Amino acid sequence: MQTTPQTREPRIDPGFAWDEQQVYLFDVDGTLLRCRDSIHMDSIISSVRQITGFEVSLDDVLIHGKTDTGIVIDACMQAGIPAEVFEPRLAEIHESMRRTVARQRQQMDLELTPGVKEALSHLAQKGALLGLATGNLEEIGWIKVEEAGLRDWFRFGGFSDHFHIRNELVAEAARKAREMAGSDARLCVVGDTPRDIEAAHANSLPVIAVASGGFSFDALIADRPEVCVSSLAELLARTQVTP
C-alpha cells in the first residue's frame, strides 16, 4: 500500500468500453477526493466516547476501503468494548458523527483527485447517470461531495448507514440505479481499493480501479479489475488520443 499514486499505462480489458456504460457508481474518499484533514475520522473517536463513555483509537484499524460502520465496529472491538454496549447504540454514534462533521464542514481540507471534473463531464456528456457507492454515512458523504464542488454531478447513492459490508451498499446503489435507468442498464463501479473491486465483482459489476488513493496500481491490478489506471486524468487522456 502507498499514499502517493503511481503513473502507469492504463490497463483495459479488451472489449470493455469504459465510457460506454449507462451508470457509474463512484466511491468518494481516494477516488473523487482526498481529505487532508482528520475531521471525519476524529468524529468517530469523539462520538464513541460521547455515546458509550469508552475511548477508542484508529491507529491499528484498517481504514482504506472500510465503511464508517465497519470502522466504528472494529475500533470498539479493538478497544475491548462489549458488543452489548456499542451495538445497540450504533445509530446514536452515527448521529453524533453526522452532527460533528456538519459543524466543521467549512474547515474541511479537500483535494480533488486528478481528472475528476473532466471525467465526470465526459461521462455526463455521453448521457451516463452518476451516483455514489461509498463507505461514508450518507450525510457525511454528501457533505464532502458538496464541499468539493461536485454535488451537481450526482443524483443518488449507496451509503453505510445501514450496511457495514461494502458489497451490500454497492448492491443498494445498484438497486437505486436500476430503478432510475432500467433493470437492464449497464452499471460500472469506480473505486480506489481492493474492497471496491471485490464489492463490484460480488455484485457482478465491472469496475474501474483508480490508484489515486492508498493503494498502488500493482496492488489493484492483482484483483483483476476490468480497468486499472493511475488516475482518471490518465484514463481520459488515453481515451482522447485513441482513434
Tell me, yes or no, whether 126 and 191 share the same domain: yes
Q: Of the candidates 56, 90, 107, which is a domain's last residue?
A: 107
pLDDT at 101 over 80: yes
Residue 131: band (very low, low, confident or very high) from pLDDT cuts 50, 70, 90: very high
Would you state the pLDDT for residue 6? 47
Q: For helices 138-147 and 39-52, give the axis angle rounded to 10 degrees.
A: 150
Q: 17 and 44 in one domain?
A: no
Residue type present at position 5: P
- Please report which helix (H) or strand (E) contains residue 132, including its range: strand 129-133
Helix (H, G, I), strand (E, B) or coil at 33: strand
- In angstroms, the CA 238 to CA 230 distance is 11
Is residue 198 assigned to a domain? yes
Q: Is position 180 within any domain?
A: yes
Does residue 237 carry a pLDDT above 80?
yes
pLDDT digits (tens, 9 = 90+) for 38-92: 999 999 999 999 999 999 999 999 898 899 999 999 999 999 999 999 999 999 9
- Structure-model confidence comparison of residues 62 and 156, the more confident one: 156
Question: pLDDT at position 238, please?
Answer: 83
Q: Tell me whether residue 2 is in a domain.
A: no
Show Cβ contacts of residue 14 under 8 Å, excluding neighbours closer than 6 positions: none
Question: What is the domain-level CATH number for residue 27?
Answer: 3.40.50.1000
Residue 4 lies in a domain: no
With a cut of 60, say whether residue 241 has pLDDT above it.
no
What residues make up the domain containing 133? 11-36+111-241
* pTM beyond 0.85: yes
| One domain, residues 24 and 82 | no
Instruction: Tell me, yes or no, whether 236 lies in a domain.
Output: yes
177-203 average pLDDT score: 97
Closest Cα to residue 199, out of 185, 213, 209? Answer: 209
Whether residues 213 and 160 share a domain: the answer is: yes
Chain segment 159-172, per-residue pLDDT in tens: 999 898 999 999 99
What is the tally of structural domains in the chain?
2
Residues 15 and 75 in one domain: no
Distance CA 73, CA 192 (A): 22
Q: Report d(CA 95, CA 140) in Å as an integer.
A: 10
163 and 225 housed in the same domain: yes
- The H-or-E segment that residue 98 falls in is helix 90-103
Q: Which pLDDT value is given to residue 3? A: 42
Tell me, what's the pLDDT at 148?
97
Tell me what pLDDT residue 52 has: 96
pLDDT at 1 over 60: no
Flag whether pLDDT at 17 surpasses 90.
yes
Tell me, yes or no, whether 164 and 82 share the same domain: no
Q: Which residues contact 154 (CB under 8 A, 6 or more apart)?
A: 26, 130, 131, 132, 145
d(CA 232, CA 237): 8
The HSE-up count of residue 65 (CA atoms within 13 Å, CB side) is: 21
Is 60 within the bounds of a domain?
yes
Residue 5 falls inside a structural domain: no
In percent, the amount of the chain with pLDDT more than 90 equals 88
| pLDDT band at residue 149 under the 50/70/90 scheme | very high
DSSP state of 37: S
pLDDT recorded at residue 240: 62
Among the candidates 56, 91, 107, a domain finishes at 107
Q: What is the mean pLDDT of residues 207-220?
A: 95
Instruction: Report the alpha-carbon distance of residue 211 to residue 4 in Å, rounded.
Output: 8
Q: Is residue 197 part of a domain?
A: yes
Among 107, 122, 139, where does a domain finish? 107
Whether 167 and 211 map to the same domain: the answer is yes
| Judgement on whether residues 44 and 26 belong to the same structural domain of the protein | no
- Same domain for 90 and 115, yes or no, is no
**Would you state the pLDDT for residue 65?**
86
- The residue with greater pLDDT, 4 or 10, is 10
Verify that 91 and 155 share a domain, yes or no.
no
**How many of the other CB atoms lie within 10 Å of CB of 141?**
26
158 with 221, same domain: the answer is yes
